[in-house]
């Protein structure tokens, strides 16, 4: 089993808001992706490399509400309250070819293996029963593609590349242990914070106009 970096997830209250946010920070117009019928969400996506991409996701107001809580904490009132103010980096996603085994071995509850699809793409995704972000988004969701090639290769290439993802956390050793269990520690940089500081993600992205940084810090009203 080899765990690989898959994609970054930007949450937005509406897709148009999320697209505008990406344009402001990265200087590009991220194209439409599709709908996740099971989750009642929709997205826009673009390449950050041959096997890495950026996703902007929001609740689809035209979709039938799902029978379960949506993924990425999108049904959490606190998450939605922050997204109304400003979209933000919510979490990151990794993939491997042994999703069920990884979930069974992990000491951290990663979620239930759930079949999902979008526009003809199919994959398995570990979704917590309550839809919550794992450790506030610091622990990645994990998935397994059911495709012969990574879908990022077919997404629009707008000249943006992921340079690094850093997790700033007051319990760095604990987080490192969780990531070790997913064989994902090597995919990110870990930096310590004091006990009084809130954990957050920061992603460096090279864009056609220079370096940009996405972060998960909750905006102040």
Which pLDDT score is estimated for 183?
94
Label residue 119 by pLDDT band (50, 70, 90). confident
Which pLDDT score is estimated for 221?
60
Q: Which residue ranges form the domains of the chain, and what is each CATH number?
A: 4-150 (3.10.180.10)
Average pLDDT over residues 59-68: 95
Is the separation of the CB atoms in 44 and 26 below 8 Å? no
Per-position b or e across 48-74, b if 16+ CB within 10 A of its CB: bbebbbbbbbbbbeeeeebebbbbbbb
Query: pLDDT tens for residues 1-39?
Result: 589 999 999 999 999 999 999 999 999 999 999 999 999
d(CA 151, CA 53): 9
Which pLDDT score is estimated for 43?
97
Average model confidence (pLDDT) for the chain? 95
Query: Can you tell me which residue has the tokens 């794992």?
Result: 134
Which pLDDT score is estimated for 1?
57
Enter the tokens of residue 5. 């970096």
């Amino acid at each position: 089993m080899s765990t690989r970096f898959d994609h970054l997830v930007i949450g937005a209250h509406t897709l148009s808001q999320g697209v505008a946010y990406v344009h402001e920070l990265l200087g590009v117009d991220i194209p439409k992706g599709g709908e996740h019928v099971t989750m009642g969400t929709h997205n826009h996506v673009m390449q950050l490399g041959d096997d890495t991409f950026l996703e902007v996701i929001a609740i689809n107001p035209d979709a039938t509400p799902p029978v379960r809580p949506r993924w990425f904490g999108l049904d959490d009132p606190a998450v939605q309250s922050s997204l109304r103010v400003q979209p933000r980096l919510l979490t990151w996603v990794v993939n491997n070819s042994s999703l069920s085994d990884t979930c069974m071995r992990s000491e951290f509850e990663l979620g239930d293996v759930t079949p999902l699809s979008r526009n003809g793409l199919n994959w398995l995704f570990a979704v917590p029963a309550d839809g919550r972000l794992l450790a506030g988004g610091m622990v990645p969701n994990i998935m397994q593609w059911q495709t012969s090639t990574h879908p990022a290769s077919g997404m629009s290439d707008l000249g943006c590349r992921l340079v690094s993802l850093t997790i700033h956390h007051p319990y760095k050793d604990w987080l490192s242990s969780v990531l070790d269990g997913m064989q994902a520690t090597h995919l990110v940089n870990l930096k310590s914070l004091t006990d009084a500081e809130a954990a957050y993600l920061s992603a460096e992205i090279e864009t056609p106009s220079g370096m940009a940084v996405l972060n998960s810090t909750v905006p102040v009203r």
